[in-house]
């Protein structure tokens, strides 16, 4: 039988993420022996080895990596169904819009104002997240719509409404010689000996190789740049959160970034449709700046 229970998937995900049965059991609030038995039973039912175990370590097999990815999707979908069902019972519930903290600030302000001016639109609740988290919020039902950025964010499977397209800038410490330049190229900002480029996590959570610091929040990045420890190339609109110790210099050959409004396919409720309509109005308004 190939039917899988959400309980055993949750158990497996905990072990696969912790790679340690003791920590996974503690995280789940259960004893370790029943957790070990549940994972072995899951392996027997599927007829595959999910984990390689020895006395010192636990590692995922290739089959285990596949199940981890699929199990996360299933658990997110189950959680999303519960959250959306509860919200549907409240006809006055606001639209939950998730956006990366510090990103597209002026655009978000205009979108909220346009939505508020629409008599048919529902109230909008803004949820702030860190880099790359918007897709997870949408898939888990913790948000209805998101402001996201093509091509850097995970837009796979979502419906979208393009809002604006912009260039990128290098965010630099104000005292660095590059900060005095009117513009830069990608070649100028790569491999700067005294100012390595910060490394954001990829969509899979891993970090690219390089000497620069690993960052996953805007506040980390802001302080490291101000201290003269790193630089980063980011969308020009992100200058809204820069510190006095920062300088933003245009990078002429960096790829353009398109900000989009995204939502799960097949879930364009009247409230989401009204917000998408407001977003489309921003894009077509001749008096509205690009980003």
Domains identified in the chain and CATH numbers: 6-85 (1.10.10.10), 93-165+257-284 (3.40.190.10), 168-251 (3.40.190.10)
Question: Among 4-8, 83-87, 181-185, which is the least confidently predicted range?
Answer: 83-87
If you average pLDDT over every residue of the chain, what do you get?
88
Q: Is the pLDDT of residue 255 over 80?
A: yes
> Which pLDDT value is given to residue 1?
46
Average pLDDT value for residue range 251-273: 88
Banded model confidence at residue 267, pLDDT cuts 50, 70, 90: low
**Mean local confidence (pLDDT), 61-75:** 92
Quote the Cα angle for 232-234-239, to 5°.
105
The answer to whether the beta carbons of residues 110 and 282 sit under 8 Å apart is yes
pLDDT of residue 231: 95
Mean pLDDT of 80-92: 71
Question: Where is mean pLDDT largest: 23-32, 203-212, 282-291?
Answer: 23-32
pLDDT for res 121: 82
Length of the chain: 291
Which pLDDT value is given to residue 178?
Answer: 96
Dihedral, 26, 31, 33, 34 alpha carbons, nearest 10: -110
pTM over 0.75: no
| pLDDT(268) > 70 | no
Quote the pLDDT of residue 47: 92
The pLDDT score that the predictor gives to residue 176 is 96
Mean pLDDT across 167-185: 96
Could you give the C-alpha distances from 37 to 17, 21, 70, 168, in angstroms and in order? 18, 11, 21, 52
Would the pLDDT of 249 be above 60? Answer: yes
pLDDT exceeds 90 at position 85: no
């Amino acid at each position: 039988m190939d039917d899988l229970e959400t309980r055993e998937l949750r158990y497996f995900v905990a072990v696969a993420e912790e790679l340690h049965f003791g920590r996974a059991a503690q995280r789940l609030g259960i004893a370790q022996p029943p957790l070990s038995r549940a994972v072995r039973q899951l392996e027997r039912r599927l007829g595959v080895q999910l984990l390689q175990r020895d006395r010192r370590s636990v590692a995922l097999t290739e089959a285990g990596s596949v199940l981890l990815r699929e199990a996360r999707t299933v658990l997110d979908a189950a959680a999303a169904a519960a959250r959306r069902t509860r919200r549907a019972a409240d006809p006055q519930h606001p639209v939950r819009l998730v956006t990366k903290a510090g990103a597209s600030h002026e655009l978000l302000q205009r979108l909220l104002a346009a939505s508020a001016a629409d008599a048919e639109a529902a109230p909008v609740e803004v949820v702030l997240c860190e880099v790359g988290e918007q897709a997870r919020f949408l898939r888990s039902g913790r948000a209805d719509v998101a402001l996201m950025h093509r091509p850097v964010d995970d837009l796979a499977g979502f419906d979208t409404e393009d809002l604006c397209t912009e260039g990128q800038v290098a965010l630099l410490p104000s005292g660095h010689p590059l900060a005095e330049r009117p513009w830069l190229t990608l070649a100028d900002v790569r491999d700067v000996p005294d100012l390595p480029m910060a490394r954001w996590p990829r969509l899979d959570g891993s970090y690219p190789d390089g000497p620069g610091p690993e960052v996953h929040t805007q506040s980390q990045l802001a302080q490291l740049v101000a201290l003269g420890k790193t630089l980063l190339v980011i969308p020009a609109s992100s200058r809204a959160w820069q510190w006095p110790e920062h300088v933003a210099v245009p990078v002429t050959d960096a790829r353009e970034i398109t900000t989009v409004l995204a939502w799960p396919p097949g879930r364009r409720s009247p409230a989401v449709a009204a917000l998408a309509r407001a977003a489309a109005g921003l894009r077509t308004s001749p008096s509205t700046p690009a980003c």
